[in-house]
Structure 1
């Protein structure tokens, strides 16, 4: 069972796609959001949840005050589960995009304050680097945007694109969470 940890929808359950996704554990989400809220005020934030799966990260952000979340998921079945979760939760600012993270990241559009990228562990480092570079190249990040990448703890730290500096890294068992932030000078 996956549920929203805190905020206005705290305790609400999320449907999870039947296979092919690995929802971020409650323990990791709780720690991640405690840290995130010390770096950034989520009230009114625009959030991008790449490789969204059930949408646990984006819905958690909405529950904690984000104004809008875009969920990007390439698997059609997972995107349908995301749409169902969006209908069941009380958040108006939700957009579900059934597209690859690489294709979405390279398109122009409104910028985001927070980006979550939680790809399947099998996704290669080069693809992650390409997605992050695409976000920067397409101007999809605000001046101080925070990027959070979740990987297997045995994976290397993501290659941050020019203009993004690493903030921190934290391991939780077999999961590692890497943080980067857009440099306000660049």
Structure 2
């Protein structure tokens, strides 16, 4: 994995192989951030990375100047890795929280300009995830939600759905309020 843009561009990240994750591929991440570059002013946004895993997306957002990045994951080793790497890369705007993402969605008090969610592909609640996030008022008006999911699985219909981009076995579904 590598950071594509911003102040840490080009740096390779080598998470331990023992982490229970499936990181977004560099090709898919580069395609995603090419789209986001045309829609987001990174240095003006508060971000939420759900199912943060290796912190791949959190590091990219922070490197590009996001005001804040909250990285949420239930695995302690993932959170420890994100904390250590953020400190090493001097990406102070990344704050981690070890939590069950679905409980976090229900209890969160903060709202965000950009939310990225990359849940395990086999998670049962995947089709309803977008609506859970949108119903929880986590996304600010005009904000953008992106959910990574397997191309073979469809998400539930939503009036906030904008588009889907397919990259082989992975897809990104975009939502906006």
Contact in 1 for aligned 2:19/2:77 (Cα 8 Å):
no
What 5-or-longer segments of structure 1 have no aligned partner?
none
Q: Displacement, 1:128?
A: 5.2
CA RMSD of aligned residues (A): 1.7
> What is the total number of aligned residue pairs between the two structures?
176
Instruction: Give the 3-state SS of the residue equivalent to 2:152 in structure 1.
Output: coil
Contact in 2 for aligned 1:52/1:71 (Cα 8 Å):
yes
Match of 1:181 in 2: 176
Contact in 1 for aligned 2:130/2:147 (Cα 8 Å):
no
- Alpha-carbon separation, structure 2, partners of 1:32 and 1:52: 16
Q: Displacement, 1:94?
A: 1.4
Match of 1:5 in 2: 4
Q: Is 1:148 the equivalent of 2:143?
A: no
Q: Given the superposition, is the C-alpha separation of residues 93 and 19 from structure 1 closer, same or farther in structure 2, using an over 3 Å criterion?
A: closer
Q: Given the superposition, is the C-alpha separation of residues 141 and 121 from structure 1 closer, same or farther in structure 2, using an over 3 Å criterion?
A: same
Match of 2:166 in 1: 171
- 1:15-65 Cα distance to aligned partner (Å, 9 max, x none): 424232011111111110110121222122111000000111121111112
Contact in 2 for aligned 1:15/1:85 (Cα 8 Å):
no
Of the candidates 118, 130, 133, which is equivalent to residue 131 of structure 2?
A: 133
Instruction: Give the 3-state SS of the residue equivalent to 2:77 in structure 1.
Output: helix
Instruction: Give the 3-state SS of the residue equivalent to 1:14 in structure 2.
Output: coil
Q: Displacement, 1:127?
A: 4.5
- Alpha-carbon separation, structure 1, partners of 2:176 and 2:111: 14
1:77-92 correspondence to structure 2 within 5 Å? 77-92=77-92
Contact in 2 for aligned 1:53/1:73 (Cα 8 Å):
yes
Contact in 2 for aligned 1:46/1:113 (Cα 8 Å):
yes
- Alpha-carbon separation, structure 2, partners of 1:153 and 1:132: 16
1:26-175 correspondence to structure 2 within 5 Å? 26-124=26-124, 126-127=125-126, 129=128, 131-156=129-154, 158-159=155-156, 165-175=160-170
Q: TM-score, normalised by structure 1?
A: 0.87
